[in-house]
Structure formats: C-alpha cells, structure tokens
Structure 1
Amino acid sequence: MSTLPNAAEQPTIAWTDDDGVSHTALWRSESGARPPKRVVLADDTMNADTAYRMACEGTALLWRGDFQNARLLLQALARRVERKPHKPKAAAAGEAPKSKQQAAADAFHLHRKAQGERARILGMLVLPFDADHSVPLRRAPDVSQACLEAHGPADGAYVASLRELLGLVGAHEWRKKGVKVDALGGAAIHPHYAVFSPVRGEYLELLAAAPLPLALTSAGKAGVAFDIGTGTGVVAALLAKRGVAQLIATETDPRALACAQDNLKRLKLDKKVQLQPVDLFPAARAALIVCNPPWVPAKPAAPVERAIYDPESRMLRGFLAGLAAHLLPGGEGWLILSDLAEHLGLRSRAELEQWIDAAGLEIEGRLDIRPQHPKVGDANDPLHRARAREVTSLWRLTVKA
C-alpha cells in the first residue's frame, strides 16, 4: 500500500509481481504527483488501448519490457489523449452571455484542466530505477547524469514516470548545449533543470535597448543595480555586459541560485554579481532594479511551472509594492512583463496600472516588442488567439515626485 510523504518518510509505491510476491520502492515525482494506489506490471505484450484504459482509471503500469517500446507506448497514449475532445460547457438557459474577458479566462482554465488530465494519464507509465539512477531495462539509455542533476544522489532504488524522465533528459541536453543569447554577443546561458530557460529572447532585446538611468551611470563605479528573481542569471549578466559595475541578484530557489552561479562563472562575471538567497529585495537601495516575474497569474500544477505561473500575481505585486522603498533618488525600476494574462482574461491593464499607482510609482516610459516564438503562428494551439496578440513590455517606473 502506498504512503503519502511526510517530514520523516519518503512516499513509496507498492505492487505484486506475477508470483504473488509483494514489493515496495521509493516513489519520486518532480511534479509532486502522489504515488499511484493501483499498480500492475506491464511489458511489450500490452497493447495501447488496454494501457490507455487502465491509465485513465488510475492504474499505474510498471514497465518490465524494452525501454524503447515503453517510449513508443507513451507516444501512443499521448495520441489517444489528444483525440479526446475537450468541449466548453454549454451555457444554461437564460444565463447571461459572458464577457470576452470571462470567456477567455474560461478557455484558459479549460486548457489547464486538459493539460492536467493529460499529465495524469501519461504519468501512469512508470519505470524502475536503481540507486545509481540507471534504468534496469533492455535498451535503456544512460540517464544517470540527467537524473543526478535534477534529483541529486538517490537514497535507494525507486520508481518514477517515464514522462518525467524524458523531461529530465531534455533538460540535461539543454544544460549541456546551452541557449545562445544574441544580447550577450552570442554567448550561451546553460539552464539547469526546473530553471526557466531564456529561449524567448525578446525581453532581453528590450533590456539591451533601454537607456540606463542617469542615477546609475553618474555614480560610476559606485552604481548598483538589483536583479530580482535572477533565475539563470541572464538578466544580471546582460546588465554587467552593459557596464553596470555592481549587481545584487536575488533568488529563493536553490536550483536557480546554483544555475545563476554556474552561468555567471562561465561568463567570467561572478566577481561583478553578488547572489543573495532572499525573497524579492535585498536590504539596500539601488539606482536600477529589474524584475522579470512570472507572467501568468495562475496556480502552477507542478514546482517546475513556478517560473511561468504566479498565483494572484504575488511576485509582481510584491515587486511593485516594495520598489519605491528600495530605489535611490532618480533611480528606475524596470518591470519586464508580457500582456498575455490580459488576453487570457486573467488580469486587466487597468489592474496593473492601479497597482503601479497605489505603490507610489509612475510610468516614465515603456518599450514594447512582439514575441517571435513558434506558438505565435500555431493556429492549433488552444491559446493561439491570445498568443497572436501578445506584447512583451519593459515598463520604466520611477517614484512619484
């Protein structure tokens, strides 16, 4: 019988083999999924329709066959999930028509619900792992380094989903290859697992083009800037490349702190940037404070989504509320934010401007750019209408006189 995680014990998964012998193993899930309560053994003889039916019912399939066949089965499950229609609920008789904002928000939440159901079903195909993170299956690749980077050393043999494993392997490849950043002169940023990758570089173009505040440049070597929520460290690196003499970059996620340290060292900028493990602002003031918070005010379905989804705009509102108290006279706060949430009906422009005003700030200027990522032109994307209208902005904010 599976157990739930607590402070003293890791969750476990249990199953019975073909000889009737009971087994247990540690359960590992980066998405925070609970261990499945029902587990059956599966191998190359199981067909996709049977696997799909059992996964939909909440039965986990512990794979004992060929690894590459497991990947093929996962693809087959994904095709079956995508064939399942997700229709919006019809309006009740006499119900008032929805506003465009409410209709957009409902479509977004329906999309998120479908994503969650897809993840649940595909997460039911699970694999055994040995204590060294290797997979003891035929034709299994060497995934130990990818798992080690994400998990650290294992406490023993464990079970995890194939879908999550493929995510770890993909993240490992991005970390090895790096993401070329034109604004850094073509230098690469190497994102670690679960740290948001700067694959969408348009906001960095804004950061490279915005005029540095006079309060920063006139201070010479004493000029200090803050990078709030540094992530990979790319914003701090770009500011350092632009000549900012001193930077303090803050972050609460240990993975992101390690990632930023790695990237700044690779770029030989680690002496210019001080990393601090604090929430939002350091205990000081600066002439320039930059923040690129998560853009979508919704609940993340997994810890790896925290760089994208910010419930109730907590980080955005916290940055705005604390900005005036941490700016030096004549300084600026740069808020880098997409308006995607506005097109999804999750936050209005009026709300954002009201938060800015209530924080004692005024808008000195704004630079805009349209994203160029592939989903902008993907008409099959459920959020295509919103993405096609999306604009990313750098808001230059100052303290009210």
Structure 2
Amino acid sequence: MSTTPTINWSEDQPARPAQPARAARWHSESCAPPPRRVVVADDGTKAATAYQLACEGTALLWRGDFHNARQLLKSMSRRIDRKPNPTRPDATPAESFHLHRRARGHRARVLGKLLVLLEDDHSLTLRRAPDVRRACNEAYGPPRGERAVSLTELLGVIGAHQWRERGVEVPALGAGTRIHPHYGVFSPVRGEYVDLVARAPLPANPRTAFDLGTGTGVLAAVLARRGLSHVVATDIGPRAMACARENADRLGLADRIEVTGPALYPEGRADLVVCNPPWLPARPTSTIEQGVYDPDGTMLHGFLHGLAAHLRPGGEGWLVLSDLAEHLGLRTREDLLTAITAAGLRVAGSIGTKPRHPRTRDTTDPLHRARAAEVTSLWRLIPD
C-alpha cells in the first residue's frame, strides 16, 4: 500500500459536464498534511471567498492566470494583517515571542491553502507562468509525476533559485566573493557572525578545523582562507552537504574542505572546532527554519558536551551565538554558562558585535525591543 500523501479534487464547473475526480501527489516542505477538501479556483474567484475557504481549511487549486494567483495571495495576506496584533502590552518577552510565532503559523496555514499543480516535468500550465522546471529540479530533485504544492512554497523555490544563481556577497572571503545557497539551506545574509570567525584570534599553529553544521560552507571557507590546511565540514542535511561541496569547489577550496555527514562531529580531533548552532531554542516548522530554531538547544548542548573529546592539546572551540534568546526570555546567560561548565569547559575569551540587519530598526516589529538589544558573540572555549 502506498503511503505517498495525495490530494483529490474535481474539475467540475457550472458550464461544463461532470468531470471525473482527480488526484496528485502532495508535497509540503513544512510537513503540512494534505488538505482534506480541495476546490478549483480561477480568475473569477473573489479574494473574500478564497480567504474564508482557506480559514475554514479548504484548499484552492489554482487554474487561472499565474500573476492573478500572486495578486490573490497578496489580497489574502492583507486580510490576515487586518486582524488585531496578538501581542499584548503587558506580555513578557517570551509570551510575545510565542504569540508572534503562533500568528506567523496561522498566516502560513491560511496562505498555504492556495495550491498549484506541477506537471510530470515540473512545469506549470498556467497562463503567464514562468518556467519553474530548473528551480523545482534543484529543490525537489527529478520529477516523479504530478505534484501539488502551495503557491507560497513554489514562490520560495523560485526565490531560492534566484539566490543560488546570483549568490550572497561575503566580504570576509574577499571583495566580490559570493556564496551560493541552495534551497532549504540557511543563507549567510547576516554577515556579522561570519565576520567574527574571520577576525577572532586563532589558536597557536592551527592546521585542522571542524565546522559543525556547516550549511552553505561559508565558515569552512573562511577558515580555509585563513590558512587552515584541512577543514572538515559536517551537516545532517543532504541539501546542505551538496551546497557546501559546491561552494568549496567554486572557491577553489575543495582540496582543503572535506564535507561529511550526517553527524554533528566527525571522527578524530582538531586544533579548532567551530559551531554556529541555531540561535533560538524552539521547534522549527520547516526545513529552512532548522537554521534558526534548535529544539531544547539540542545542537548547542551536543557541541558543548562533545568538544573536549574532539580537541587536540592546545586547541579551542568557537561557539558563535546570538543572545536574542536571552532577550526573549527563552534562555538565560546563566543557563549558557552553566552548560559550558557542565561540559568541562571554560571561557578563554569572547568577542561580540551588533546586528546590522534592517529589522533592528523596525519599531513595528513585535520583537523590536529584543532585536535592538541583540549581540552576537564568539565564545572561545577550552577544556577546564
């Protein structure tokens, strides 16, 4: 019996005779279950109707013009924005965070009810639709029959393809040097954490390094450019490992960077172990959120407790971590320092930097106060 999730719908319309029921494979990067009820929508569908159906849990399979579908999505989004802000003036930072996450989850569920159908070659047969085949091949792999996805997910796939094509400039790697993120791999758009790794003092005569949770491979590349002769970059995600290998090859560093997984630590010991774990101890709701949210700080604690056993004599571990979780009331500084001590480590020094992204200046952001106070630090850790 097949366990592949599917959606089912009928193409029946008033001016057409009854059509047989149809089915297609369902795909969701956020692991959303397939909608139980699906109706056909087109250019004649009103935004108010679409919004009401989506809020009730009914999905709309789009059969009209592609650009009109995008406009409908924007109209539905504006209706969500008309709802009162869920945060309260008397809410604690942690309560504000959870209310904000809940509101974002509601938005994602409602907007995710507008669906499109990818044909068996990953093409779209909608009017004025772009050629999405290459973007979908990069994100999903070879096509395996028709596939239904939310329009919001498809737009993310298209955007990821564009990021992959043009890359993200990383000044720490040299003027004009770019890292090319893949779909589902966290992009190094916040360059301050990369700059910390580029300027922190290296331990004496380092030759080897581990970059744990490498993602795009950007920190492994920085370490290799700083003179480390062998950098082992690990990740648990196949997309991240493929992305890191491709970037190492683009930068001419494939002979210095070895990408492996799926595990946090590789075999052996190194002079330097670098880890930039997800900064917030919360549950991710999609693949891309795994770069931001770390349930119960699992990766953070895994790094700390495995560090001493993977360092060579005189080696250091570099923990790159934002204190945003502290400002949001999700973790305290005492919690972090206690975890470091419990792992048999001590802090040899630290350097910090303020974020430069625009959200720190957005006073309408419910989390503005925490974002404005945020500091990202590189903690130099050694065995106690």
TM score, norm. by length of structure 2: 0.96
From 127, 133, 138, the equivalent of 1:144 is 133
Deviations 1:6-30 (A, max 9, x none): 9x43110001221242111111111
Give the counterpart letter for 2:383 in structure 1: V
Corresponding residue for residue 159 of structure 2:
170
Deviations 1:96-130 (A, max 9, x none): xx8xxx81111101111101100000001101110
Give the counterpart letter for 1:117 in structure 2: H
The Cα of 1:278 is off from its aligned counterpart by: 3.6
Aligned residues: CA RMSD: 1.4
Corresponding residue for residue 10 of structure 2:
16
The SS at the match of 1:306 is: helix
Corresponding residue for residue 101 of structure 2:
112
Structure 2 distance, partners of 1:17, 1:173, is: 33
Structure 1 distance, partners of 2:86, 2:252, is: 52
Structure 1 distance, partners of 2:74, 2:87, is: 26
Change (3 A) 1:280 1:382: same
Identity %: 57
Corresponding residue for residue 209 of structure 1:
199
8 Å CA contact retained: 1:215, 1:330 = no
The Cα of 1:395 is off from its aligned counterpart by: 0.2
From 181, 188, 194, the equivalent of 1:198 is 188
Structure 2 distance, partners of 1:228, 1:111, is: 30
Corresponding residue for residue 301 of structure 1:
285
Structure 2 distance, partners of 1:120, 1:351, is: 34
8 Å CA contact retained: 2:87, 2:366 = no
Corresponding residue for residue 15 of structure 2:
none
Structure 2 distance, partners of 1:88, 1:263, is: 41
Equivalences for 1:47-66 in 2 at 5 Å?
Answer: 47-66=46-65
Confirm whether residue 398 of structure 1 aligns to residue 358 of structure 2.
Answer: no
Deviations 1:107-160 (A, max 9, x none): 101111101100000001101110111111111111111111000012101211
From 305, 316, 329, the equivalent of 1:332 is 316
TM score, norm. by length of structure 1: 0.92
Corresponding residue for residue 83 of structure 1:
82
8 Å CA contact retained: 2:280, 2:293 = yes
Stretches of structure 1 lacking an aligned partner (at least 5 in a row): 1-5, 91-97, 217-222
Deviations 1:294-327 (A, max 9, x none): 0010000112211110000000001001101111
Give the counterpart letter for 2:134 in structure 1: Q
Structure 1 distance, partners of 2:88, 2:235, is: 41
The Cα of 1:381 is off from its aligned counterpart by: 1.3
8 Å CA contact retained: 1:335, 1:394 = yes
8 Å CA contact retained: 1:215, 1:329 = no
**Equivalent pairs, count:** 378
Equivalences for 1:274-313 in 2 at 5 Å?
Answer: 274-313=258-297
Give the counterpart letter for 1:76 in structure 2: S
Deviating more after overlay: 17-26 vs 178-187: 17-26
Corresponding residue for residue 361 of structure 2:
377
Structure 2 distance, partners of 1:393, 1:271, is: 30
